[in-house]
Structure 1
Amino acid sequence: MSKARGTAAAAPEAEETLAPRRNPDLAGHDEAERLLLEAWNSGRLPHAWLIGGTPGVGKATLAFRFARFVLAQEPHGDSLFGGAAPVTSLHIPPEHPVFRRVASGGHADLLTVERQRDEKKDRLKRDIAVDDVRKIGPFLRRTSSEGGWRVAVIDGADRMNLSGLNAILKILEEPPPGALLLLVSDNPGGMLPTIRSRCRKLTLKPLEEDAVVALLGQHRPDIAEEDRAALSRLSEGSVGRAIDLADAGGLALYREMVGLLSALPRLDIAAAHAFADKLTRKQDDGLYETATELLVWWLARFARSLARGAWPAEVVAGEAALMTRLANARGLERWVEVWEKVQRLFARAESANLDRKQVLLNALAALETAAA
Structure 2
Amino acid sequence: KEHEGLGGSHHKTIDTAATRGRLPRFFLHEDLGSPFASVEAQMRACLQRLPLDEHVAVTIAEHASDLYLLDALRWHPQRTDKMAEAELHFTSALLGASAMLSIASWPNAERESANGTEHWSRVAKFTSLLSKNPAFVAGAPFYIQMSLPSNFYPRLEKGAVNLRLSLLVSMPPANVILGTTDPGYMGLRTPLMQGLFKRYSVLPYRASAWLASSENANPTQHARPIDIFFSGSCRRRDGGVRGAMLRTVDLVRPSGRVDVSCETITGRTVNFDDPAYVANATAILKRTAKAMLSADLCLSPVGDTASSRRLFDALAAGCVPVIVAKPKADRSIFSNVVDDTNLSRIDALSSFARRYLPFS
Higher relative contact order (CA 8 A, sep 6+): 1
More strand by share: 2
Q: Taking structure 2 as the reference length, what is the TM-score of the superposition? A: 0.30
Q: TM-score, normalised by structure 1?
A: 0.29
